[in-house]
Amino acid sequence: MRAGLVVESPSGAPQLAFVHSCESFDGEWRGCANLQGRYWIAGRIRLDARRDLAARLAKTLAAMPPTPTDGELCLQAYAAWGDRCVEHLAGDFAFVLWDGERRRLLAARDQLGVRTLFHAEKDSVLVLGDSLDWIVSTPLAGQPIDREHDEQWIADFLTAGSSLDVERTVYRAVKRLAPAHLLEISDTAVAVRRYWHLELDEPLYLKSGAAYAERFLELMSHAIGDRLPAGRVGISMSGGIDSTTLAVCTIAATGDASRVVAECTHFERLMPDDEASFARLAARHLGIELHVKAIDDFIYDPDWSSRSESLAEPSANVVARHPDRLMALEQARRAPVWFFGEGPDNALTFERDAYFAWLARRGEWLRFGRAALLYLKAKGIGGWGETLRRYARRGESPVDGSDVPSWLDRGLVERLGQEERLGHLGGAGGPAHPWRPRAIASFTDAIWPALFDDFDSDERLAPMVWRHPYLDLRVLGFLLAVPPVPWARGKLLMRTAMRGRLPDIVLGRRKTPLVGAPLADLVAARGLPPLSNAPQLARYVDVGALPGRLPAGAALDQLIRVHALDHWLARNG
């Protein structure tokens, strides 16, 4: 289901057209509703802590429906708090709300951007929805939307893999509403404002490691409970600490291991991969069903360019779209909702130096000394060996995967300042946090909305949805607030919480980089299709400057994007 809203002449008599039918999908409300003919809402909404929200509303409003849907809760929240209602909402949502009394329209997107909302305007006609395809196919003022491409979006895609500006789409006339933003349209103005920031004040000091572990498990129970489907739930599970911890917490939340099914994808031929062995150990220990799938032949489809796979925007994922569909259909047959374990790698970034420097500036020497002792204890002899090896490699040149390639049109590069733009890649765009600079900055990166867009695209392949318990704002705030020394080192917090709940061999496993280039091997063996030489491609790429032989590493990723863009232009140009 894709929800949308068309508003004609908001300064005159509005004509509202809610698009698509109302439905619910395992706790996620989708569709349209109204409150006493005063307010209307269309969207896709799954709220966290909905009982607490309902209780707060019951104290504010005279009457509340006995079992309100999440859409109705949002309408009630607006009736109680106006546009500040979004400050009381948490979860995954993108919705459009029309206030017929005040003749104003609000559009909101959740804090991290799990759900997407697009908008376009022409001649006093506004169209909003969560489907880019639907937006560009909807006439405005009797005319089709201008499909001129956004060259900045395309330059970012070709070089960095996704847009560095979260508001852009591949079409200049269509914008994304940024995460944590509210769009308001009234008779007098159109305004966009940010309603939420990821803020972190003092570290959370608890009395013991057991207290940190207990609090973590409590918050995970709430986050998972708010995301559970009625029946079985799936977990994308490797053999690492993040996904196996997610499995433990999900079993605890359901109280029934038979409701939990996991899938582990791994490589058998193309590269060394021991994920399956660790995942099997964890699944056996937990008593859950595990499906192990070798994906050597699923990451590149040699026939991708001849298939009818359609994407709303250019994406390198098109080279595996068909096998992704087959895998998604398999997953949907096992469970309607799947959990993904993204979040702890960023939230538990180990920031020893920043934390110690912050304590020293404040003169908190007692905490400094205690943290130093805990750090020495947690690090152990093996940890010092890792430090020595890391310092020995400091002179090695890092690989830069974001260079401007020589084949990118030079006029485009100079006009957009693309080299300087990529030079700022990864910057937080604001003052650094005093004791958690990298962790906080990482959650402002445009890569997150791009990641969620990929999940949203995957959900169109089969009747299933992805959910992200670690990104629940309660869990995320806690993970960021724990003192990074010692609790973020090697994710000590999670390993402490999982002691006795996961096998020791899984708890003791450290994150190791992948060795090998499976996609490069497959592309080298099966080849890339010839370019269609679409005239539009020449606006961005000097085809004659493309490498004659397949490059490796980041350069190959960029070359695949050229072919993905060419494929998209041939079908959507």
Q: What is the 3-state secondary structure (H, E, C) of 283-310?
A: HHHHCCEEEEEECCCCCCCCCHHHCCCC
DSSP 541: B
Domain membership flag for residue 415 = no
Domain membership flag for residue 110 = yes
Q: What is the mean pLDDT of the chain?
A: 88
pLDDT band for position 395 (cuts 50, 70, 90): very low
Is residue 27 predicted with pLDDT exceeding 90?
no
> In Å, how far from its chain's centre is CA 544?
36
Question: Average pLDDT in the 51-61 region?
Answer: 89
- The closest of 98, 104, 103, 108 to 39, measured between CA atoms, is 98
- 314 and 282 share one domain: yes
Instruction: Report the share of the chain in percent with pLDDT over 70.
Output: 88
Q: How confident is the model at residue 119, as a pLDDT?
A: 92
Q: Which of 70-79, 193-202, 545-554 shows the lowest per-residue confidence on average (mean pLDDT)?
A: 545-554
Domain membership flag for residue 20 = yes
Give the type of residue at 47: L
Q: How confident is the model at residue 75, as a pLDDT?
A: 95
CATH number reported for the structural domain that contains residue 233 in this entry:
3.40.50.620
Residue with tokens 């376009």: 120
- The closest of 282, 316, 276 to 296, measured between CA atoms, is 276
- 261 and 375 share one domain: no
- 223 and 330 share one domain: yes
- 451 and 361 share one domain: no
By residue count, the chain amounts to: 573
pLDDT tens readout for residues 235-284: 999 999 999 999 999 999 999 999 999 999 999 988 888 999 999 999 99
The boundaries of the domain holding residue 459 are 209-349+436-518
Domain count, the chain: 3
Domain membership flag for residue 356 = yes
Question: Average pLDDT in the 510-521 region?
Answer: 76
Segment of 142-156, 408-422, 427-441, 459-473 carrying the highest mean pLDDT: 459-473
pLDDT tens readout for residues 9-23: 444 434 444 444 445
Which tops the pLDDT comparison, 27 or 346? 346
Describe the crossing of helices 241-254 and 209-227 by its angle, rounded to 10 degrees.
70
- The answer to whether 7 and 104 have CB atoms below 8 angstroms apart is no
DSSP 535: G
Is residue 380 predicted with pLDDT exceeding 90?
no
Distance CA 175, CA 167 (A): 5
Question: Average pLDDT in the 164-171 region?
Answer: 95
pLDDT band for position 389 (cuts 50, 70, 90): very low
Give the type of residue at 12: G
Q: How confident is the model at residue 493, as a pLDDT?
A: 97
Residue 317, burial from CB neighbour count under 10 angstroms (0-12, 13-18, 19+): middle
CB atoms within 10 A of CB 520: 19
Q: How confident is the model at residue 12, as a pLDDT?
A: 44
- 440 and 325 share one domain: yes
Domain membership flag for residue 292 = yes
- 345 and 216 share one domain: yes
Q: How far is CA 125 from CA 5, 119, 138, in A?
A: 11, 11, 11
Residue with tokens 């395309």: 154
- 183 and 66 share one domain: yes
CATH number reported for the structural domain that contains residue 9 in this entry:
3.60.20.10
- 88 and 112 share one domain: yes
CB atoms within 10 A of CB 21: 10
Q: How confident is the model at residue 145, as a pLDDT?
A: 87
- 345 and 357 share one domain: no
The residue out of 160, 194, 228 marking a domain boundary is 194
- 104 and 220 share one domain: no
For 418, the enclosing helix (H) or strand (E) is helix 418-423
Tokens standing for 548? 């004659």
Q: How confident is the model at residue 187, as a pLDDT?
A: 77
Q: How confident is the model at residue 525, as a pLDDT?
A: 86
Domain membership flag for residue 297 = yes
- The answer to whether 87 and 196 have CB atoms below 8 angstroms apart is yes
Domain membership flag for residue 538 = no
The residue out of 362, 392, 422 marking a domain boundary is 392
The residues near 146 (Cβ < 8 Å, ≥ 6 apart) are: 122, 171, 172, 173
DSSP β-ladder status, 23-25 and 15-19: unpaired
Handedness of CA 56, 59, 60, 62 (dihedral sign): positive
Domain membership flag for residue 430 = no
Is residue 551 predicted with pLDDT exceeding 80?
yes
Helix (H, G, I), strand (E, B), or coil: what is residue 410? helix
Distance CA 87, CA 196 (A): 7
Start-to-end CA distance of the chain, whole Å, equals 26
- 356 and 297 share one domain: no
- The answer to whether 154 and 557 have CB atoms below 8 angstroms apart is no
The residue out of 497, 518, 539 marking a domain boundary is 518
Describe the crossing of helices 352-362 and 365-392 by its angle, rounded to 10 degrees.
150
- 322 and 341 share one domain: yes
